[in-house]
Structure 1
Amino acid sequence: MAETFRLKIIAPTGVFYDGQVERIVLRGCEGEFAVLAEHTPLTTILAVGTFNMILGDNQHKSGTLLGGLVTVTPRETIVLTDAAEWPEDIDLNRAREAKERAEQRLKDDKFDAARAQAALERAIARISTKEK
Structure 2
Amino acid sequence: MADELTVDIVTPDERSFQGPANGVRAPGIEGSFEVRRDHAPMIAAFGIGPLIVKTEAAHEYADMHNDRIVFATSGGFLEIIENKVMVLAETVEPASDIDVERAESAEERAQRRLSQEVQAEERETYEAARDRARNRLRVAMGKVGTRQS
- Is TM-score (shorter-chain normalized) higher than 0.5? yes
Query: 1:79-119: per-residue Cα shift (whole Å, max 9, x none)?
Result: 10111101121110111111111112122123611110110
Q: Which runs of 5+ in 2 are unaligned?
A: 58-65, 143-149
Aligned pair in 2 of structure 1 residues 114, 5: CA closer, same or farther (>3 Å)? same
Query: Which ranges of 4 or more aligned residues in structure 1 deviate by more than 6 Å?
Result: none
Q: Counterpart amino acid of 1:114?
A: E
Q: Counterpart amino acid of 2:37?
A: A
Aligned length: 132
Q: Which structure: greater strand fraction?
A: 1
Normalised TM-score (structure 2): 0.82
Question: Identity of paired residues, percent?
Answer: 27
Match of 1:124 in 2: 134
Distance 1:25 1:2 in 2: 19
Alignment pair present for 1:51 and 2:51: yes
Match of 1:105 in 2: 113
Alignment pair present for 1:90 and 2:102: no
Normalised TM-score (structure 1): 0.92
Aligned pair in 2 of structure 1 residues 83, 107: CA closer, same or farther (>3 Å)? same
Give the drift of 1:26. Answer: 0.6
Match of 1:68 in 2: 76
Give the drift of 1:60. Answer: 1.5
Q: Which runs of 5+ in 1 are unaligned?
A: none
